[in-house]
Amino acid sequence: MAQAGQKYLGQVITVKEAHRIDEARLAAFMGDTVPGYGGPLTLRQFEGGQSNPTYLLETPGAKYVLRRKPPGVLLKSAHAVDREYRVMKALWETGFPVPEPLVLCEDDSVLGTAFYIMRHVAGRVFLDNAMPDLSRQERAGVYDSVNETLARLHTVDHTAIGLGDYGRAGNYFGRQIGRWSQQYELSATEVIPAMDKLIAWLPGAIPGDDETRLAHGDYSFHNVLIHPTEPRVVAVLDWELSTTGHPLGDLMYHAMEWYRPPGFDSRGALIDKDLAALGIPDLETYVARYVERTGRAPIENLAFHKAYNLFRVAAIIQGIVGRARDGTAAAAGAAEQALRVRPLAEAAWGFAQDAGAQ
């Protein structure tokens, strides 16, 4: 049984009606493609998640995880399970902590949408960033391991592992701002002046430094799997938004836990917590440790990065709201997330003003 504040990936539910798949066809496919597979197969669905439906596959001898595109009309470039599989396979072969990817199927005739299968990894996902069930020392260890893992990702030579064409080099922030502005506008369900101001201001405020590394795209604690008993990362999950881009986009999105407004996310912002008592480093210390590990220069323009990342997550959440409107969201309650978009946008605009926006 998971303790309060954390969730084991073994917690699953009966497959939702909208996400049912042909189990016999899946079992036949696995028998043909997954080394060592032996049935019978049982299938359940992971609770939560807003994007790609994810299933636990169990046999007498092994456990697997399947992620698939959801049914319905999808935004262009969204739910890219083929990209997830590709980047995970390349990283797995370097020893980076990801679940072992086993097979990708892009033939919609098998299960209705594209999917991939990976090995199940036992561990914990912390849904409360304060991790109240851990000791101060354990909490500090988890945060340090998560920091080290991100730094490790950003020092991978993506070209050397076959990902030189995984995304375009240069102008990462410009491309991301354009993408999320467009997807926000396609998904919009109300007028939010702060989002309109950010869409106008961000392109001209991009810092001049530029570099290209692998970027996870959603590096947060709910996508990092921690060892069942030890304070260390055993797998990084959910690579749907990964690309090549500026590493500070990843870092400051992850660091958003320290500066996003409290009260609008069940995971709990750190901005109003006694970090010293918890054993959690403050943002300045955490960023400095990352800088040390990656060997980069001290980071400037933090206000821009805060504004950009709050804008980006507001646009992502608005996409969830739009999918709920269109009937394609992967989790119940997605429509209620509309309440989070405006506060995030207004906080982002506050940081934009700190960075000189008028």
pLDDT, tens digit only, all 358 positions of the chain: 333 334 434 478 888 888 899 999 999 999 999 999 998 999 999 876 557 889 999 999 999 999 998 875 444 555 679 999 999 999 999 999 999 999 999 999 999 999 999 999 999 999 889 999 999 999 999 999 999 999 999 999 999 999 999 988 889 999 999 999 999 999 888 899 999 999 999 999 999 888 999 999 889 998 999 999 999 999 999 998 899 999 999 999 999 989 988 776 656 779 889 999 999 999 999 999 999 999 999 888 899 999 999 999 899 889 888 877 776 655 556 667 788 899 999 999 999 999 999 8
pLDDT for res 16: 87
Using DSSP's 3-state secondary structure scheme, residue 12 falls into: strand
Q: Which amino acid is at 265?
A: D
Q: Which amino acid is at 201?
A: W
Domain 6-119 has CATH 3.40.50.2300: no
CA–CA separation, 337 vs 10, rounded Å? 26
Model confidence pLDDT, tens digit, residues 133-160 = 999 999 999 999 999 999 999 999 999 9
State the sign of the Cα–Cα–Cα–Cα dihedral 43, 48, 49, 51. Answer: positive
pLDDT for res 61: 94
| Residue 164: closest CA among 92, 209, 214 | 214
Residues in the chain: 358
Both tokens of 264, joined, read 């609008």
Q: Where in the chain is the domain with CATH 3.90.1200.10?
A: 128-354
pLDDT for res 73: 47
Q: Where in the chain is the domain with CATH 3.30.200.20?
A: 6-119
Please name the helix (run of DSSP H) or strand (run of DSSP E) that holds residue 21, with its range, or none: none
Axis-axis angle for helices 136-153, 283-294 (nearest 10): 40
pLDDT for res 80: 79
CA–CA separation, 214 vs 62, rounded Å? 31
What is the CATH T-level fold of the domain 128-354, as seen in this structure?
A: Aminoglycoside 3'-phosphotransferase; Chain: A, domain 2 (3.90.1200)
CA–CA separation, 174 vs 202, rounded Å? 8
DSSP class per residue in 318-333: HHHHHHHHHT--SSTT
What average pLDDT does the structure give for the chain? Answer: 89
Distances, alpha carbon 316 to alpha carbons 93, 186, 253, in Å? 30, 11, 12
CA–CA separation, 208 vs 352, rounded Å? 16
Distances, alpha carbon 81 to alpha carbons 47, 238, 309, 312, in Å? 19, 9, 23, 21
Q: Which amino acid is at 355?
A: A
Which residues have C-beta within 8 Å of that of residue 63, sequence separation ≥ 6?
Answer: 56, 57, 119, 120
Q: Are 225 and 9 in contact (CB under 8 A)?
A: yes
CA–CA separation, 311 vs 345, rounded Å? 6
pLDDT for res 52: 85
| Single pTM value for the model | 0.86
CA–CA separation, 260 vs 262, rounded Å? 6
CA–CA separation, 74 vs 89, rounded Å? 25
pLDDT for res 330: 52
CA–CA separation, 300 vs 252, rounded Å? 12
- HSE-up of residue 141 (Cα within 13 Å, Cβ side): 12
